[in-house]
Amino acid sequence: MPNVIPSSADSICAVATAPGRGALAVIRLSGPDAHTIAEQVTHRKLAARQAILTSFYDARGERIDQGIALYFQAPASFSGEELVEFHTHGSPVVCDLLLDTLCAHGARLAEPGEFSLRAFMNRKIDLAQAEAIADLISSSTEQCVRLANRSLQGLFSARVHDVLEQLVAVRTGIEVYLDFPDEDLDVQQAQHFCEQLEQLDADIAILLEQAQVGERLHAGATLAIAGPPNVGKSSLINALAQSDIAIVTAVPGTTRDPVATDIEITGMPVHVVDTAGVRETEDAIEREGIARTRRTLEQADLVVWMDDVTQPGQAPPEEVDAARSIRVHNKIDLIDQVPEALEDEVYLSVKTASGLPALIELIRARLLGGEQASTPFLARRRHRLALQRTQEHVQAAVQGLREARGLELAGEDLRLAQHALAEITGEFGSEDLLGRIFSEFCIGK
């Protein structure tokens, strides 16, 4: 069933703070009747941008609580509408009573993300900035908080608009020739269009690479720790997590099922899976654990294949692709001479932590694909897909121009490219897309 955007003619209300008991709670009221309803609840005249200590009364005139009422006059509010915040004591009962009262005066309970949706509809924020609000709320690392703030400030949107302006400029030039068919497109002008589009393609490629890293930072990555039994996999995952989440014993085959935990590696959320040791065994339960390990290795974003440096020849199985794996040789504290590491290879001792920083840095580099500082924003899967579609259409336009297929086809490719790119900020987009995005927000935001 498609998501339907709620009507903005209603006044809406919701608790904006986290659920549960606390010292304070904030209830938000937005819509055309917000100011009138707030004055009915407070029995006071509310001036814009003045915090007023007041009592809150129910529909029968009985006092509910005492707190702060803060009125924001449209359009100078988060939603762009008349908006009032009630700062109450943080009792769930008080919040429910006040919400019931607001509804009794004509408001209704807000849908998830409806305040942000109204801010978007009233052009206070674009779609990428709206998503950044949700990302900021759900951020699990300091790095994600900083990058979500950059997106909220409009950095990602500005980069998208820069590319969009280049695209529109080339498309406009081509449309001129289409509108005036008497003007023939000479070879020199066609070459100029191609050069402009190739530069645009290069700029999109940079933005796409940053979006891919931003998506990884937003969604996190799956890191599988694998290898033969008793080589220190569980000890390594405990070292990475800085907590004893995996059982460590000298008995091979202790880990039967994959054990997972969420950790942070240099600011990136990582889902780490400690897998069962891979070996030939007659134990039916252990064989099932190994089968699950193989499935985990196929699905992981990165695999750390670990072996014992004192027992060479423990090669990874075929499920471990060299392009997405790191070879780790553990227990260097048991040998006299540590060999020189090759690319994507680390010698370490989990026992002494020697080599652990080098492994962490290599994991970061493999998952983020370069310098972390080059990623100025968080991104989502839909952003990446929109940029990929944009690039495909731009490349198709270049190929069409070079093969003299006609300006009409090139113009259509650029129209589709513009449409795909503008979906990121919401300048183009279906009602169903907007409904799906904002339905993922928390209530009150």
- CATH number, domain 136-217+380-426: 1.20.120.430
Sign of the torsion angle spanned by Cα atoms 409, 415, 419, 421: positive
Provide the pLDDT for residue 430: 59
List CB contacts of 273: < 8 A, sequence separation 6 or more. 222, 223, 224, 225, 258, 259, 260, 296, 300
Average pLDDT, stretch 23-29?
97
Residues 110-143: pLDDT tens digits? 999 999 999 999 999 999 999 999 999 988 888 8
**Among 414, 368, 427, 436, CA closest to 121:** 427
Confidence of residue 240 (pLDDT cuts 50, 70, 90): confident
Helix (H, G, I), strand (E, B) or coil at 45: coil
**Which amino acid is present at 250?**
A
All residues at 6 or more sequence positions from 365 whose CB lies less than 8 Å from its CB, including other chains: none
Looking at residue 416, its pLDDT comes to 96
Q: Does the structure show a pLDDT above 60 at 251?
A: no
| Assigned fold of 12-126 | Gyrase A; domain 2 (3.30.1360)
The string of pLDDT tens digits covering residues 93-103 is: 999 999 999 99
Phi, psi of 186 (to 5 degrees): -80, 170
Q: What is the mean pLDDT of the chain?
A: 86
**For residues 63 and 88, is the Cβ–Cβ distance under 8 A?**
no
Quick one: fold of 220-374?
A: Rossmann fold (3.40.50)
Give DSSP secondary structure letters for 18-39. PSS-EEEEEEEEESTTHHHHHH
Supply 247's token pair: 């059982």
In contact, 394 and 204? CB cutoff 8 Å: yes
Rama region for 238: left / alpha / beta (φ>0; ψ in -120 to 50; rest) = alpha
Confidence check: pLDDT of 257 > 60: no
Q: What is the largest CA-CA distance in the chain?
A: 84
Q: What is the mean pLDDT of residues 140-149?
A: 89
pLDDT at 221 over 70: yes
What pLDDT was estimated at residue 315?
74
Domain boundaries, the chain: 12-126, 136-217+380-426, 220-374
Calculate mean pLDDT across residues 210-235.
87
Mean pLDDT of 165-174: 91
Tens-place pLDDT, residues 275-286 = 766 655 555 555
pTM: 0.78
Q: How far is CA 258 from the centre of its chain?
A: 26
For position 408, what pLDDT does the model report? 87
Distance, CA of 38 to CA of 210 (rounded, Å)? 45
Mean pLDDT confidence for 326-336? 92
pLDDT value at position 109?
97
Instruction: Give the whole-number percent of the chain exceeding pLDDT 70.
Output: 85
